[in-house]
A and B are shown apart, each in its own frame.
Chain A
Amino acid sequence: MITTKEEYEEIVDAYGKAGGDKEALKSREIATLVVHENRVLSANEAEGIRIKWEQKEKGVRAELTVEEGKKIKHPVHLCFGILPKEGLQEIVLKINVQDGAEVRIIAHCIFPNAVNIIHKMDADIKIGNNAKFYYHETHYHGDSGGIKVIPKAKIEVGKKSVYQNTFSLIEGCVGRLDFNYEVSCGEKSVTELVAKVYGKKEDDIKISERVSLNGREARSLIKSRLVLRDKARAEVIGETYGNAPLARGHVDCTEIVDGEEAIAKAIPIVSVKNKEAKVTHEAAIGSIDKKQMQTLMARGLDEEEAVEIIVKGILK
């Protein structure tokens, strides 16, 4: 059993290796929450942000409130992780971005030694009116693939608000991912969901995103970018429902298959219940574009170097 201080230093170190800003975790001006397994190792509030938390048997329940009208200068840093090879972490996260508030969250989920780990996230996010909420989540996994990641979220976006979510899992093996987000969009709101995943070995990826454009003139984009190698398989379901006048939605999925046994599937579902709404979709699944390859090779790159550049670009 390691002490909390050693534990903290170890997870902060892993956070840095995963691309996180270690200095941000030490700053008193920046709101942070660091969770290892079911223990909160540090939590810091900043002006305009309140953080409540409670340790549970298998995880942590946290509540983050951004106060009305507060525009938070520095991004909030969240760090969730498990350093041992085995473990279970259940995070119940409630976020309330009040009217007129603006905040950017950078979350890192770190499992560098995973052999048999389950990480569950159950989020309930409420974005008030005229608010802006940006959430960027990056995962850093080890190479064994022995991990199940199950993020689920329900999000309500208020009138004239902006919600942007980026989920990125491109380091290490995915393991099994079951991603499920549901968004309800209010009048004149803007929602953007971006997922970028790099599947390798025997990774099993399921991404399901559902956006309901319930308010007049609500707009949304669901964008997925996946690259699959080896025996990885993926199913991406992007659903958008145009339920209100002048609502506009788009589903855009690209999956690159670069392995003999990799399997990709895209299921865009678009539905319109209002005659003035419009929802479109595009899905492209296939091997790496031949012309892109030829262009890079004509600049002197080998085939493998060209593939790497194209894949990096798609997942950037």
Chain B
Amino acid sequence: MSGANMLQIENLKLIVDDNPVINDLSLNVDKGEIHAVLGVNGTGKTTLAHLIMGVNYLPDDGKIIFEGEDITGYPISQRAKMGITLAWQEPARFEGLSVRDYLGLSNELETGEIEDYLWAVGLPPFQFLDRAVDTSLSGGERKRIELASVLAMRPKFAILDEVDSGIDVVSLPHIINGIVKMKSLGSSVLLITHSEVAIEIADKVSVMCAGKIFRMGSPKEMCQWFRENCQVCGHINVPS
């Protein structure tokens, strides 16, 4: 069930090399909701995810408010300790760090709990627990482990940056299942995606272009609007 406001983004701006990558962007995410962000490549979706997590950039203007507290200038660790986390579009690889230890980074978990989180994303624990989170994993496996590690953190607010991209059709339902489980465990989710299947599980969808959110609605409405407008648009990412 959706509830009170969890994340408020007010008039956020980020200029990189004279280019407004995030351009007066405002967005609200309610407690317990899955809020999808839809947009073509290069609209600033990943940059938005990084700004919320405090990665790489600080905004030039605007505010990020989490549970009523202005976190705009907070470092990554502090935001994470407040319950925010991020699943990267291309997750990092770690030599010598086992899946078991990776999932147990945030909380002390029993092996059974770690196994549950792996099962939630369709990975048999007996095959993955003792493997390293390194280059021996396929891209799809690494992404599912990333999602499982976010689940294991039990965050208040999870930013999922294209966790479904590069995933085969057989594995996609496992990713969807993981996101639904995240919501059922009480997390709010900002879901950045291109997949209409993934968007169907969202409570709300915002469409983003040229660093701005300019339309919000139900998954069905927004998917249709996106197909009819964005996919045929001649001025993609040119600020209007």
CB neighbours of A295 from chain B (8 A) = 88, 91-92
From the candidates B86, B94, B96, B132, name the one contacting A298 in the complex (CB within 8 A).
B86
Whether A300 contacts B86 by the Cβ 8 Å rule is: no
Q: How many residues of A contact B (CB 8 A)?
A: 22
From the candidates B84, B85, B88, B149, name the one contacting A291 in the complex (CB within 8 A).
B88
Whether A298 contacts B53 by the Cβ 8 Å rule is: yes
Name the distance in Å between A197's Cβ and chain B's nearest Cβ. 14
Task: Tell me the residues in window 282-316 of chain A with beta carbons closer than 8 Å to chain B beta carbons.
Answer: 289, 291-292, 294-303, 309-310, 312-316
Chain A residue with the shortest CB-CB distance to B107: A300
Alpha-carbon distance between A21 and B224 when the two chains are bound, in angstroms: 66
Residue among B85, B97, B106 with max Cβ neighbours from chain A (10 Å): B97
CB neighbours of A302 from chain B (8 A) = 77
Alpha-carbon distance between A247 and B168 when the two chains are bound, in angstroms: 37
Whether A299 contacts B153 by the Cβ 8 Å rule is: yes
Report the contact-size class of chain B (Cβ under 8 Å from the partner).
20 to 34
Task: Tell me the residues in window 42-101 of chain B with beta carbons closer than 8 Å to chain A beta carbons.
Answer: 53, 55-56, 75-77, 79-81, 84-86, 88, 91-92, 94-97
Alpha-carbon distance between A299 and B153 when the two chains are bound, in angstroms: 7
From the candidates A254, A289, A298, A309, name the one contacting B97 in the complex (CB within 8 A).
A309
Residue among A303, A313, A315 with max Cβ neighbours from chain B (10 Å): A313
Whether A291 contacts B92 by the Cβ 8 Å rule is: yes
Alpha-carbon distance between A92 and B149 when the two chains are bound, in angstroms: 50
CB neighbours of B149 from chain A (8 A) = 299
From the candidates B53, B85, B96, name the one contacting A314 in the complex (CB within 8 A).
B96
Whether A313 contacts B105 by the Cβ 8 Å rule is: no
From the candidates A301, A303, A310, A315, name the one contacting B94 in the complex (CB within 8 A).
A310
Q: Which residues of A contact B (CB under 8 A)?
A: 225, 254, 289, 291-292, 294-303, 309-310, 312-316
Q: Which residues of B contact A (CB under 8 A)?
A: 53, 55-56, 75-77, 79-81, 84-86, 88, 91-92, 94-97, 105-106, 132, 149, 153
A-B contact pairs, 16 of them (CB 8 A): A225-B95, A254-B95, A289-B92, A294-B76, A295-B91, A295-B92, A297-B76, A298-B53, A298-B79, A299-B106, A299-B153, A300-B77, A300-B105, A301-B105, A313-B95, A315-B96
